[in-house]
């Protein structure tokens, strides 16, 4: 069954969702709604879909099976719960919400109303990410000792000034970590498993009129015993591709956006040489390092296909609410450690 999807929020990221829905097998875009009527009219015209006057009108439409939430991060909760209560499946742009309590409220609402919840972490679907995951699951790293994520991006002052919600705790939920680096935090947790212990520092170094951090450094201890680092900033001109490094006593690999930059294991296989050759130049965009619009929508397309499959097969999405919650928990733990100067224990 083709799933009719409505988009809530018509900002920049909604355009990527609209293109992805149109390309996704088993999905079709019905319409969109937002707080500003003129924004809805423009968006509907650009994407050849219906403009709804309100969320309530959208949820009352029987052709809508699911909604995709593209509002500011701290405004995900209300439309998600309203959609769940209306019996609509829920797809949420990252982060799921800005606190674990608000994440739990969305998860509970979807469970209570029997609808599927999918969180938009499209980087997991990239071929390079999948190869890293398989190498971890196959034990190719031996004993994993370190797992690190580096997001050294650049955002201008104009970027933060472009929307009143940007750079606020209430609506952005955080800065370089919660808004920009959360994809890398999700990938790191997906590859490394749960975090037990966090120690962190954050600062606002170069941007004005923002409440949140533009630099963050955290050290982690994972449940598997490995140690790691998360570095995130929006002050690193001109911006570099995000980077994940996994190291163990039998192998190491480095993922840079969609490229595999390093891939060496003590026990080589016939496939390793091919991976080093073919996966070295996969990234075709700026990855959002300097321009948040400089990303492709192919990852989103695969994400929507997974959401549609979960709905049609009546199963939890592989990126369900519990998966979406994990990165929020770690980032909030980093903020708590930076604020208190103390080690934060999770779990």
Q: CA 43 from chain center: how many Å?
A: 23
Q: Return the pLDDT at 313.
A: 98
Confidence category of residue 23, pLDDT binned at 50, 70, 90: very high
Report whether pLDDT(203) > 90: yes
Q: In terms of pTM, does the model score above 0.75?
A: yes
Q: Return the pLDDT at 309.
A: 98
Q: 191: closest CA among 243, 143, 246, 138?
A: 246
Average pLDDT, integer, range 31-55: 97
Report whether pLDDT(227) > 90: yes
Report whether pLDDT(294) > 90: no
Q: Nearest 5°: CA angle at 239, between 273 and 221?
A: 70
pLDDT digits (tens, 9 = 90+) for 305-343: 999 999 999 999 999 999 999 999 999 999 999 999 999
Q: Which domains does the chain have, with CATH numbers?
A: 3-123+297-319 (3.40.50.720), 124-290+328-345 (3.30.360.10)
What is the 8-class DSSP label of residue 2?
P
pLDDT digits (tens, 9 = 90+) for 146-161: 999 999 999 999 999 9
Average pLDDT, integer, range 226-237: 98
Return mean pLDDT, the chain.
96
User: What beta strand segments (E) does the chain contain?
Assistant: 3-8, 27-33, 50-51, 66-69, 89-93, 117-120, 144-152, 195-203, 215-222, 227-233, 243-248, 251-256, 259-265, 344-345
Angstrom distance (rounded) from CA 125 to CA 138: 18
Name the token pair of 287: 């990855």
Confidence category of residue 295, pLDDT binned at 50, 70, 90: confident
Q: Return the pLDDT at 271.
A: 96
Helix (H) or strand (E) holding 240: none
pLDDT digits (tens, 9 = 90+) for 254-293: 999 999 999 999 999 999 999 999 998 878 777 788 777 7
């Amino acid at each position: 069954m083709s799933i009719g999807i409505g988009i809530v929020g018509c900002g920049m990221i909604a355009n990527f969702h609209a293109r992805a829905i149109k390309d996704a097998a088993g999905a079709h875009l019905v319409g969109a709604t937002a707080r500003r009527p003129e924004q809805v009219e423009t968006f509907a015209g650009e994407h050849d879909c219906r403009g709804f006057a309100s969320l309530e009108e959208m949820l009352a439409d029987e052709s809508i099976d699911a909604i995709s939430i593209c509002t500011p991060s701290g405004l995900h909760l209300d439309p998600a719960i309203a959609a769940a209560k209306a019996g609509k499946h829920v797809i949420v742009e990252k982060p799921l919400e800005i606190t674990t309590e608000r994440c739990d409220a969305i998860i509970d609402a979807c469970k209570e109303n029997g609808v599927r919840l999918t969180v938009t972490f499209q980087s997991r679907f990239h071929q390079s990410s999948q190869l890293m995951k398989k190498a971890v699951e196959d034990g190719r790293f031996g004993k994993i000792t370190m797992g690190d994520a580096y997001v050294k991006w650049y955002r201008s002052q104009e970027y933060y000034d472009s929307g009143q919600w940007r750079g606020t705790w209430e609506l952005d939920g955080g800065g370089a970590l919660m808004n920009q680096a959360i994809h890398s935090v999700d990938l790191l947790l997906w590859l490394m498993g749960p975090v037990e212990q966090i120690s962190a520092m954050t600062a606002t170094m170069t941007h004005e009129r923002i409440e949140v951090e533009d630099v963050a450094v955290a050290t982690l201890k994972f449940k598997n015993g490995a140690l790691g680092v998360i570095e995130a900033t929006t002050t690193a001109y001109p911006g570099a591709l995000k980077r994940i490094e996994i190291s163990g006593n039998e192998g190491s690999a480095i993922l840079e956006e969609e490229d595999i930059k390093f891939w060496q294991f003590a026990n080589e296989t016939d496939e390793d040489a091919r991976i080093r050759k073919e996966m070295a130049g996969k990234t075709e965009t700026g990855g959002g390092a300097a321009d948040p619009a400089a990303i492709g929508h192919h990852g989103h397309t695969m994400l929507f296909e997974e959401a549609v499959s979960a709905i049609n097969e009546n199963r939890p999405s592989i990126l369900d609410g519990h998966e979406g919650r994990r990165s929020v928990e770690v980032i909030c733990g980093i903020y708590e450690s930076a604020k208190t100067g103390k080690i934060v224990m999770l779990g």
